[in-house]
Structure 1
Amino acid sequence: MTDTVRLPEGYEISTDPDRLDVDRVHGWLSTDAYWATGRPREKQERAIAGSLNFGVYDTVSGDQVAYARVITDRATFAWLCDVYVDRSVRGKSIGTAMVGAVRDHLEPFGLRRILLATHDAHGVYEKLGFRELARPDQWMALVF
């Protein structure tokens, strides 16, 4: 396991779903995230309701500046998805710290694996212990 990653000073992370700025999360994902462009608000709300959610917040303003969610059975498997950092705070290691906090939060569950998909952030995830699938030929997807 890699070292714990801390958020930069002035930011905090929470799994409290009541703190989520759903309007902001939906706006980020539906307009600026290649994997979720055009996602309807109602679908985003259902995704949030069925997931373990992580928000990063500015401790002064209280504004949400990043988001990630995890779909998990809390026993064997987790899927990390919808990782997004507001453009105004990118480059401050908030994304790396948030994903590290997600990893650390899930560790006590004793999961066999945490999966994710990324088009362009392999380096960020590799710093936190993620690796390419050893046997991608053993994985399949049902895509609608």
Structure 2
Amino acid sequence: MLEISTDKTRLDIELIHNYLSNESYWAKGRTMETVRRSIEHSLCFGVYIDGQQIGFARVISDYAIFAWILDVFILEKHRGKGYSKLLMKAIMSHEELQNLQRWGLGTDDAHGLYAQFGFAALSKPQNMMEIKR
């Protein structure tokens, strides 16, 4: 049975760290300490099948104006079954994230997934700035 939970005590931090630091393209080499701190300061979503974690995402937000979705993944052997759509549906419908004015995320390869939830290229990319380290 599939379950999506925001209970941080259920998260398998080692699984999350292993995926992010070894398998993701965006967080290669991320330290365990960084993963722990990012989880501590985020609204986290664990995806479970029969109690075993198979996916993860986190949201940083002020819960009033803005939210940014990060570190979204479903383990390779569980992909293609619609779990990422269910995860995104859970994030977008979370009671504390309703009525936000702006959502953001970054992706190299999942534009089709996020477009299903209303995400599009920046309307005014010239207005956005960053510091990238």
TM-score w.r.t. length of structure 2: 0.96
| Partner deviation per Cα, 1:124-143 (whole Å, 9 max, x = no partner) | 00011111111111111111
Counterpart secondary structure, 2:94: helix
Where in structure 2 are the equivalents of 1:56-75 lying within 5 Å? 56-58=47-49, 60=50, 62-75=51-64
Matches of residues 14-25 of structure 1 in structure 2 within 5 Å?
14-25=5-16
What is the number of residues matched between the two proteins?
133
Q: Structure 1: how far apart are the matches of 2:30 and 2:19? A: 10
CA-CA distance at 1:108 after TM superposition = 5.1
Aligned counterparts of 1:117 and 1:107: Cα–Cα separation in 2:
22
RMSD: 1.2
Where does the alignment leave 5 or more consecutive residues of structure 2 unmatched? none
The equivalent position to 1:100 in structure 2, one of 81, 84, 89, is 89
Superposed CA deviations along residues 17-49 of structure 1, whole A, max 9, x for unmatched, are: 001000101111110000001000001000000
**Displacement of 1:106:** 5.4
Match of 2:2 among 4, 11, 15: 11
Q: How far apart, in 1, do the equivalents of 2:125 and 2:56 lie?
A: 28
Whole-Å separation in 1 of the counterparts to 2:116 and 2:20: 24
Q: Residue type matched to 1:27 in 2?
A: N
Q: Which of 69, 73, 76 is residue 80 of structure 1 equivalent to? A: 69
Change in Cα spacing, 1:54 to 1:109, as seen in structure 2 (3 Å) is same
Tell me which amino acid in the other structure corresponds to 2:113: V
Matched, 1:45 2:39: no
Percent of paired sites with the same residue? 44
Unaligned ranges ≥5, structure 1: 1-9
Give the Cα–Cα distance (whole angstroms) in 2 for the partners of residues 102 and 136 of structure 1. 25
* SS of aligned partner of 1:74: coil
| TM-score when normalising by structure 1 | 0.89
Structure 2 counterpart of 1:5: none
Q: How has the CA–CA distance of structure 1 residues 47 and 32 changed in structure 2, closer, same or farther, with 3 Å as cutoff?
A: same
Q: Residues 108 and 121 from structure 1, CA distance in 2 versus in 1: closer, same or farther, beyond 3 angstroms?
A: closer
- Check 1:13–1:128 CA distance in 2 against 1; reply closer, same or farther (3 A cut): same
Q: Given the superposition, is the C-alpha separation of residues 118 and 106 from structure 1 closer, same or farther in structure 2, using an over 3 Å criterion?
A: farther
Task: Find the partner of 1:30 among 16, 21, 45.
Answer: 21
Structure with bigger RCO (C-alpha 8 Å, 6+ apart):
1
Q: 1:90 to 1:109 in 2, by over 3 A?
A: same
